[in-house]
Structure 1
Amino acid sequence: MMATKLLRPIGLCVALVVPALVLRFSGAEPAPLIGLVLFGMAVVAASFVLAWAAEAAQVDISGGLAIAILAVIAVLPEYAVDLYFAYTAGSNPDYVAYAAANMTGSNRLLLGLGWSLVVLIGLAIAKKRTGKPVPELTLDSPYRVELGFLAIASVVAFVIPVTGQISLLLGFALLGFFVFYLWKASRAEAGEPDLAGPAATIGALPRRPRRILVVALFAFVAAVILACAEPFAHNLIAAGTQLGIDRFLLVQWLAPLASEAPEFIVAILFAVRGNGGAAIGTLISSKVNQWTLLVGSLPIAYLLGGGGGALHLDARQVEEFLLTATQTLLGVTALLALRFPRWAAWTLLGLFAAQFALPGQTARYVLCAIYAAIALAALIRNRRHILPTLAAPFRRAPEHDPAVTVTAGR
């Protein structure tokens, strides 16, 4: 009976993945629309399996580490695309702009669209369950550790627009900070996760088969995402090019939308099922990954590709990094009290949408100023939480895993 419960959902996902893998390794080049559908279908199916494996993994390891592993696997497409651009930039300077555009686009997409969407879905689900409006999501105190890592990384990120480059020294420092983040996540104790569906079936297996299956599923998903991410992004860009969309915009927005798809799908799945902790945790962890592991890897990939000791940015790329850094600052300051209010979700979503209606250098600097002004107001309002948040990554790990609940506020 248990085997049947697992074979049906996992077998269906595998069946959806097989056509894309056959297409990928046969070397065939389908029409962009057909390729987009097949590879997109594989990415979606793999995202479901990833969500089940990550939830079940919390039986054996801390929820924070499980979410961190999930986030790393989910953003593999982003790493593959962005590091390719950075590596190629070592011999072709034109690709420096693409590397910066892809990284900043994916970051703003993750926070402006991802965070906002997950919170709004979570609040809608809470309203449906309670029968009354719920103004904010409230995170339990252990989540301050992840927020502390993101806060420090977001402050350090301002070095990039100020200096106009991503140096090897900064890259290695960010990579070291990411390793420390993983170590910190691994120190938290495993709790008793509330599992449902296939994840519950996996979690109920005996220890040895459960661990083998979870590792196998993680490996399977990583292989599928790595195999399908590039052709998915390629077909998406090809389809966009046929429609006459600017290539820089394709690299900055459509390619990141494709590469961010797995983590978006996983987070939305968690939110729809009422598991807001895993939803928000996945996206916060992904943001930490992008500001540390991804940004730190760019100058190394650039060097390996034949470039120098620093990835130099032009004026447009500096503006993009500044806009991304100020947006992240607003996200962090709004969460300092471990409460994600509805107004913050709509503000982040509205400002994210505004950048498309207000293109140009002046508009980008105006948006930076708006982000910074709102962040300053949130910082003043939540000032008593600043030091505890910055100190959280260096304190002893909490005894229980973080979770998120929905409250009606004080």
Structure 2
Amino acid sequence: MSAAPEVGTVEAEVPSAEPPSRRTTALRIGVACVGAAPAVGLRLAGVHLEPVPGMVVFGIGVLAAALLLMWAAETARADISGPLALALLAFIAVLPEYAVDLYFAYTAGSKPEYAAYAAANMTGANRLLVGVGWPLVALAAYFSARRAGKRPGIVLREHRRIDVAFLGAAALFAFVMPLTREISWVVAVVLIAWYGSYLYRIGRCSETDEEELVGVPARLAQLPAGRRKLTTVCVFLVAAGVVFACAEPFATSLVDAGASLGIDRFLLVQWLAPLASEAPELIVAVVFAWRLRADDGLGALLSSKVNQWTLLIACLPLAYGVGGGGWSLPLVERQVDEVMLTAAQTVLAVVLLLDLRFLSWKAGLLFGLFVVQFVLPGENARLALSYVYLALAVVLLTRKWAELKPTAVAVTGRVEGDPH
């Protein structure tokens, strides 16, 4: 079972920050819309930019859309509460990632070389989330705890076992993909069903996330209920429109820019595109940690990881089939190793969270191993690193064996926060 919260909990009573003024709020939303405007305008006008300028313009559009999505998602929490709300809002936050990756998978139906880009974008997004996102939250939590005179470290609430349990099962199942060298429609069906079960399970959990809204969402949440809901829907629709307008040209520009700049296209698609689409979510999670709400920050990224490691993967073969390919997305040698490495990283991440503690050494371990992949030479480096992740997971699991039972029970049994 998880340890007593007083050891690593970084909660403290701090003065509530005043939300920005209406003028400042309108200005921030306006800046995001202005950032997206050139990309949308060029798309509607049918103007095609050169690869590098296109990557910048449409990348800014995706980033602006992601900011709008995050603001709308956080504002919605004034009307929706609990772990289910966190999962649904995490899904909204990663819509830009879905748009880009599904475009690659759809295009691969007629252009087979794009299949590699779909796998690259998916694995890059997942590894960035765990290898960079989680350590960033831990770093912010460390400094905020020191500032408040608290012992550093993140202790997750008991209901987060649900996320850990569902992610752990999905991580183990994911090894089917590198073994079969494809993401088949069978994998898609299983993962969609598993994600649906996850939403149903957390929907039965009555635990609430009483986090304090900050920034634009804090001001919007003060609107009367009717105006707040209408504003949230409008911001979401505008952001969704920007995403759909920018996803295709942004993805295409990334691929073409790789050739024009002499950079490996695979690496550009794997790291730059996910970084653009994940950045706002990471920023919000870090802000929560800095404001002594580290459980909420890491909890949001954990829910996003469940989302991306189930539903996002499941959508790829479906988009590939709709685009004219078969109903199984093939994986060539490099993609096989990338998926294997991502699955292994996920297994280690799950083991590290079994005791619901995310301490500094765990964050350092995940970040250090993430960095190692960029300095290891040779074609077999990814596979070797995968074995390192798995070996560490096995060793650490021997010390956390007692945590397996309460985590497994969380899939169907009761945890703290469930109704009696």
Match of 1:277 in 2: 295
Q: Which moved more, 1:227-236 or 1:16-25?
A: 227-236
Tell me: CA distance 1:58–1:351, structure 2 relative to 1, closer, same or farther (3 Å): same
CA distance in structure 2 between the aligned counterparts of 1:79 and 1:201, rounded to whole angstroms: 28
Tell me: CA distance 1:262–1:299, structure 2 relative to 1, closer, same or farther (3 Å): same
Q: Which moved more, 1:293-302 or 1:193-202?
A: 193-202
Indicate the SS of the match to 1:361: coil
CA distance in structure 2 between the aligned counterparts of 1:58 and 1:202, rounded to whole angstroms: 11
TM-aligned CA deviation for residue 293 of structure 1: 0.7
- 1:147 and 2:178 are equivalent in the alignment: no
Match of 1:87 in 2: 106
Indicate the SS of the match to 2:396: helix
Match of 1:361 in 2: 379
Match of 1:299 in 2: 317
8 Å CA contact retained: 1:319, 1:361? no
The one of 132, 155, 176 equivalent to 1:113 is 132
1:133-212 alignment runs, 5 A limit: 134=152, 136-189=153-206, 192-212=210-230
8 Å CA contact retained: 1:5, 1:201? no
Match of 1:72 in 2: 91
CA distance in structure 2 between the aligned counterparts of 1:268 and 1:231, rounded to whole angstroms: 30
- 1:266 and 2:294 are equivalent in the alignment: no
Tell me: CA distance 1:32–1:161, structure 2 relative to 1, closer, same or farther (3 Å): closer
- 1:370 and 2:388 are equivalent in the alignment: yes
The one of 296, 305, 308 equivalent to 1:290 is 308
- 1:243 and 2:261 are equivalent in the alignment: yes
Q: Which moved more, 1:100-109 or 1:178-187?
A: 178-187
8 Å CA contact retained: 2:254, 2:269? no
8 Å CA contact retained: 2:63, 2:276? no
8 Å CA contact retained: 1:151, 1:390? no
TM-aligned CA deviation for residue 70 of structure 1: 2.7
Indicate the SS of the match to 1:366: helix
Pairwise CA RMSD: 2.7
Tell me: CA distance 1:52–1:298, structure 2 relative to 1, closer, same or farther (3 Å): closer
Tell me: CA distance 1:184–1:213, structure 2 relative to 1, closer, same or farther (3 Å): farther
CA distance in structure 2 between the aligned counterparts of 1:47 and 1:277, rounded to whole angstroms: 22
TM-aligned CA deviation for residue 66 of structure 1: 2.9
8 Å CA contact retained: 2:109, 2:323? yes
CA distance in structure 2 between the aligned counterparts of 1:264 and 1:64, rounded to whole angstroms: 18
8 Å CA contact retained: 2:341, 2:383? yes
Indicate the SS of the match to 2:80: coil
1:9-24 alignment runs, 5 A limit: 9-24=28-43
Indicate the SS of the match to 2:354: coil
8 Å CA contact retained: 1:122, 1:274? yes
CA distance in structure 1 between the aligned counterparts of 2:381 and 2:36, rounded to whole angstroms: 42
Same amino acid, percent of matched pairs: 49
Tell me: CA distance 1:307–1:109, structure 2 relative to 1, closer, same or farther (3 Å): same
TM-aligned CA deviation for residue 175 of structure 1: 0.8
8 Å CA contact retained: 2:104, 2:117? yes
Tell me: CA distance 1:240–1:262, structure 2 relative to 1, closer, same or farther (3 Å): farther
Aligned residues: 399
Tell me: CA distance 1:32–1:153, structure 2 relative to 1, closer, same or farther (3 Å): same
The normalised TM-score by structure 2 is 0.85
Q: Which moved more, 1:185-194 or 1:161-170?
A: 185-194
CA distance in structure 2 between the aligned counterparts of 1:43 and 1:63, rounded to whole angstroms: 28
Aligned AA (1:175): I
- 1:219 and 2:263 are equivalent in the alignment: no
8 Å CA contact retained: 2:96, 2:247? yes
Tell me: CA distance 1:83–1:50, structure 2 relative to 1, closer, same or farther (3 Å): closer
CA distance in structure 2 between the aligned counterparts of 1:207 and 1:175, rounded to whole angstroms: 33
Indicate the SS of the match to 2:377: coil
TM-aligned CA deviation for residue 4 of structure 1: 4.2
TM-aligned CA deviation for residue 139 of structure 1: 0.8
Q: Which moved more, 1:374-383 or 1:322-331?
A: 374-383
TM-aligned CA deviation for residue 13 of structure 1: 2.7
Aligned AA (1:216): C
8 Å CA contact retained: 1:76, 1:226? no
Gaps of 5+ in 2: 1-19
Aligned AA (1:169): V
8 Å CA contact retained: 1:39, 1:232? yes
- 1:103 and 2:105 are equivalent in the alignment: no
Tell me: CA distance 1:225–1:303, structure 2 relative to 1, closer, same or farther (3 Å): closer
Match of 1:126 in 2: 145
CA distance in structure 2 between the aligned counterparts of 1:35 and 1:273, rounded to whole angstroms: 37
Gaps of 5+ in 1: 402-410
Tell me: CA distance 1:27–1:127, structure 2 relative to 1, closer, same or farther (3 Å): farther
8 Å CA contact retained: 2:65, 2:96? no
TM-aligned CA deviation for residue 233 of structure 1: 4.1
CA distance in structure 2 between the aligned counterparts of 1:326 and 1:50, rounded to whole angstroms: 30
Match of 1:405 in 2: none
Q: Deviations over 1:289-324 (max 9, x none)?
A: 111111112222222233334333233322221111
TM-aligned CA deviation for residue 244 of structure 1: 0.8
8 Å CA contact retained: 1:43, 1:262? no
Indicate the SS of the match to 1:393: coil
Q: Which moved more, 1:151-160 or 1:330-339?
A: 151-160
The normalised TM-score by structure 1 is 0.87
